[in-house]
């Protein structure tokens, strides 16, 4: 089962929840797809066994062979190529390239355009006890984490594992990529007007993707009615409320997992996992 943990904004406690679920599950795979700022390792403290560089093909033009016909630029849907026939020059904008291969496919001149590898990030795999650990880390300056996320999902995940996936915060393309193959989405929010606003945006994506979801309210201060009322109207269950606590905040800042800082909450996470793996909503 693929359980994705998402949030409309950063700082709501997404990693707090995802690492707690992984530690409670025991035998599972924790997958950190927050590739721009992965931090699940701080709490799980895995032993890294392997690191793999993720590479994508990008075009390289040989201007000694190229006839500057412009077919490659016409085929590029992302305007990553610009051919200046008069100057006999082809410009390549690497940050716009999506590595789709269309330019190489349509080029009519042999050896004028070839694809070379460009590194976009690193994938680390390892273990923490019985929990498999998989993390993506985007290289500084790369414009999008989507290709790295897609590489991890397609090539590194075992469908036979219970997958606890820490998605990127927000509602952008990396989040959509992380949720597309999920079986269930846990939305982490906080009981504030800003938390509600971002929760509403994330639920729109979840519904568009046709995914079943539940809500965990973090930093519950006894004033969570605005989230609970919205959840009731949207027909989405509130799975858990994590109390607002200085002890939890202090432990989090020291890299101590929630279930160690608040041992009594461990059974609640186990109950959530039990319901989900039993096929909640079916």
Question: CB–CB of 69/112 below 8 Å?
Answer: no
Domains along the chain with CATH numbers: 2-54+122-277 (3.40.50.300), 63-111 (3.30.70.20)
**79-127 residue pLDDT tens:** 999 999 999 999 999 989 999 999 999 999 999 999 999 999 999 999 9
How many Å apart are CA 260 and CA 282, to the nearest integer?
32
Radius of gyration of the chain measured on its C-alpha atoms: 22
How many Å apart are CA 234 and CA 23, to the nearest integer?
30
Question: CB–CB of 177/209 below 8 Å?
Answer: no
- The pLDDT value recorded for residue 10 is 84
Strand, coil or helix: what is 229? helix
Alpha carbon of 117 to those of 94, 159, 160, 177: distances in Å?
12, 28, 31, 22
Q: Per-residue pLDDT averaged across 133-160, rounded?
A: 93
pLDDT at 264 over 90: no
Q: Which residues, listed in sequence order, are joined to residue 114 by a DSSP beta bridge?
A: 60
- Report pTM: 0.89
**Residue 216 backbone zone (phi > 0: left; psi -120 to 50: alpha; other: beta):** beta
Residues with Cβ < 8 Å from 154, sequence gap 6 or more? Answer: none
**209-250 residue pLDDT tens:** 999 999 999 999 988 999 999 999 999 999 999 999 999 999
Identify the CA nearest to 178 among candidates 169, 137, 190. Answer: 169
């Amino acid at each position: 089962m693929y359980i994705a943990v998402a949030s409309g904004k950063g700082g709501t406690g997404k990693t707090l929840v995802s690492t707690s679920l992984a530690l409670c599950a025991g035998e599972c795979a924790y997958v950190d797809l927050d590739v721009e700022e992965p931090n699940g390792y701080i709490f799980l403290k895995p032993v890294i066994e392997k690191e793999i560089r993720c590479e994508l093909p990008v075009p390289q033009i040989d201007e000694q062979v190229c006839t500057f016909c412009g077919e490659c630029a016409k085929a590029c849907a992302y305007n990553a190529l610009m051919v200046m026939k008069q100057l006999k020059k082809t410009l390549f904008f690497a940050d716009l390239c999506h590595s789709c291969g269309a330019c190489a496919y349509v080029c009519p001149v042999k050896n004028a355009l070839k694809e070379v590898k460009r590194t976009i990030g690193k994938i680390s795999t390892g273990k923490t006890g019985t929990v498999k650990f998989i993390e993506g880390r985007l290289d500084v300056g790369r414009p999008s984490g989507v290709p790295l996320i897609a590489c991890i999902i397609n090539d590194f995940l075992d469908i036979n594992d219970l997958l606890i996936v820490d998605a990127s915060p927000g509602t952008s393309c990396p989040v959509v990529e992380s949720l597309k193959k999920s079986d269930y989405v846990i939305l982490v929010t906080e009981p504030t007007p800003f938390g509600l606003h971002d929760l509403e945006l994330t639920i729109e994506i979840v519904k568009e993707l046709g995914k079943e979801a539940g809500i965990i309210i973090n930093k519950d201060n006894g004033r969570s009615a605005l989230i609970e009322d919205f959840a009731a109207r949207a027909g989405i269950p509130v799975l858990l409320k994590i109390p607002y606590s200085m002890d939890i905040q202090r432990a989090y800042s020291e890299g101590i997992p929630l279930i160690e800082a608040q041992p009594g909450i461990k059974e609640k996470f186990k109950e959530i996992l039990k319901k989900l793996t039993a096929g909640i909503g079916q």
